Chain A
């Protein structure tokens, strides 16, 4: 299996632009997580899907952030409009039993 696939690996954008991060979970996994990693705040859970349904989005920082999972093999995290403080590494992870999570390589987002 190719593991969790995230794209792009790096994204540099200007403040105010829309950013879309993509994730393909491991086939057969029914849970998907989006995390954000920064030096100041460490690893934060943003949102969690189970069977394509958002279960807990309490970690989404504000309305500028939105996430979708239209099917079992694809999820997006969108930031609109982006701000410099959104600069971070965003990880997607998937799980087959909501216990052990497998992480993607991450997307390093820089907003200038």
Chain B
């Protein structure tokens, strides 16, 4: 079975500071990994995805994530936080194979950006 664990349900950073949101996965096969962002009263929007190509993945809004197989991690980073980054972030992993692939989400991390 595949799953993801997000460390820290709430993270606060100052505007301009580094953003680091942690995600660890468990998977018996090479996974596909994703980060989604959810703004208040909105659906989930894909930030970036890892599909076994480059281990450093760049996404939208200046975010990136690095797949580290040895650490089973896929942490999300951004060098300098903006107020507009305040949202909830979800790490996700695919479950199943072929047409049965399904996303399994972590519990989410609420990011607060302080002025």
Residues of A within 8 A of B (CB): 4, 31, 33, 42-43, 45, 48, 50-51, 55-56, 91, 93, 98-106, 108
Which of these binds chain A: B40-48, B58-66, B67-75, B79-87? B40-48
| CB-based closest 8 A-B pairs | A103-B43, A98-B101, A43-B105, A103-B44, A50-B99, A105-B43, A42-B107, A106-B43
Residues of B in contact (CB 8 Å), total 24
Collect the chain A residues with CB atoms within 8 Å of residue B43's CB.
Answer: 4, 91, 103-106
Which B residue's beta carbon lies closest to that of A10? B41
CB distance from A58 to the nearest CB of B (A): 10
- Is the pair A99, B104 in contact by a Cβ cutoff of 8 Å? no
**Chain B positions within 8 Å of A101 at CB level:** 46, 103
CB contacts (< 8 Å) of A103 on chain B: these are 36, 43-45
State the total of A-B contacts with C-beta under 8 angstroms: 54
Measured between alpha carbons, how far is A98 from B34 in the docked complex, in Å?
13
Residue pairs across A and B with Cβ atoms less than 8 A apart, 30 shown, are A4-B43, A33-B102, A42-B105, A42-B107, A42-B108, A43-B90, A43-B105, A43-B108, A45-B103, A48-B100, A56-B100, A56-B102, A91-B44, A98-B94, A98-B100, A98-B101, A99-B32, A99-B49, A99-B51, A99-B94, A99-B101, A100-B46, A100-B49, A102-B46, A103-B36, A103-B43, A103-B44, A103-B45, A105-B42, A105-B43
